Structure 1
Amino acid sequence: MKLTQHFSLAELTNSTTAQRLGLDNTPASELVPRLVRTAEMLERIRAELGAPVTVTSGYRSPAVNRAVGGVTSSDHAQGHAADIVVPGFGNPYTVAKLLSQLMAPLGIGQLVLEGVKGKQWVHVSTRTPDKISNRVITITDAGAQLGIRALS
């Protein structure tokens, strides 16, 4: 099922963890409109960056979210978020730095540059956190910092 021109429901629900553990990662029907909104945000990001966006993690069913160690309030489990990389544009730091300047026009409610366990990606969500300090952060193995920080 196509959600937008470049993003499908299958792409936003694909999970190697679900496949490996035999877990169902099908979203409830009431979450599909949120996934459409997330895909629309990803379309705007793709257009702004001028390069294809690869979703490394999108929707997570409760079982998949538990299996990956996600918090129970995860935006992924609610259909609001995607973890992305954009190799055709640049590394995750470069992507996050640019997106942090364009959050409102792109419909990004939260932006997180993540660099943990040797991997790097950008988390984008259509939901705006209650705490303004949680809108733009960098998370590394050492913890969280406000703003987009260079990853070592």
Structure 2
Amino acid sequence: MGTVDLTTKLAANFSLGELVSSAKADSLGIDNTPPAAIVEQLRATAAMLQRIRDRLDRAVIVTSGYRCQALNRAVGGVTSSDHVQGQAADILVPGYGTPYDVAKALAPLVSMLGIGQLILEGVGGKRWVHVSTRVPDRPANRVITITDAGTQLGIQPVR
């Protein structure tokens, strides 16, 4: 896909490598190097993540950032995933609390922090927070919870 410097800082606390790193891609031999246009999108995503980090005053761990199409298919992502466009990251902030705690804290701040969409996800026993720079077409989908039981508006406790 070309050469990019994965050590490039996209924001004070986030590097390009952090937003494209994937153990799944490594294990499957998938090149998850983003094209230049996606790197520019990742800059905006990193800026959003930096605002989240600064607001929560805790380190933000990116568990999934950019995914090329092949990686997105391999992890079972939807074809319209914001991850493929470099506009999303799945995060954990263990120093702040559970994913529910993080999502509850961020929900009233989405506009201020430049979060287009905030999703508390709890699927298959795993929990994380999905943040995207893209604002969904339907305002009701801006802050949602997705679990094995389905999708609910707002941030709901995940059992």
* Range of TM-score over shorter length: over 0.9
Unaligned runs of 5+ in 2: 1-7
Q: Does 1:122 align with 2:129?
A: yes
Matched AA of 2:117: Q
Hey, what's the Cα distance between the residues in 1 that align with 2:11 and 2:56?
Answer: 17
Matched AA of 1:24: D
Q: Tell me the alpha carbon deviations over residues 60-100 of structure 1, each in whole angstroms, 9 at most, x when there is no partner.
A: 00000010111111000000000000000010001001100
Which residue does 2:66 correspond to in 1? 59
Post-superposition shift, 1:4?
1.0
1:2 aligned to which of 9, 15, 30: 9
Q: Does 1:149 align with 2:156?
A: yes
Hey, what's the Cα distance between the residues in 2 that align with 1:85 and 1:97?
Answer: 13
CA RMSD of aligned residues (A): 0.6
Hey, what's the Cα distance between the residues in 2 that align with 1:104 and 1:143?
Answer: 25
Q: Tell me the alpha carbon deviations over residues 32-62 of structure 1, each in whole angstroms, 9 at most, x when there is no partner.
A: 1110000000000001001000000000000
TM-score by length of 2: 0.94
Hey, what's the Cα distance between the residues in 2 that align with 1:145 and 1:35?
Answer: 28
Partner SS state of residue 96, structure 2: coil
Instruction: Kindly report structure 1 stretches of 4+ aligned residues shifted beyond 2 Å.
Output: none
Hey, what's the Cα distance between the residues in 1 that align with 2:52 and 2:133?
Answer: 12
Unaligned runs of 5+ in 1: none
1:104 aligned to which of 111, 114, 129: 111
Identity rate of aligned residues, in percent?
64
Which residue does 2:53 correspond to in 1? 46
Hey, what's the Cα distance between the residues in 2 that align with 1:131 and 1:26?
Answer: 31
Q: Does 1:131 align with 2:138?
A: yes
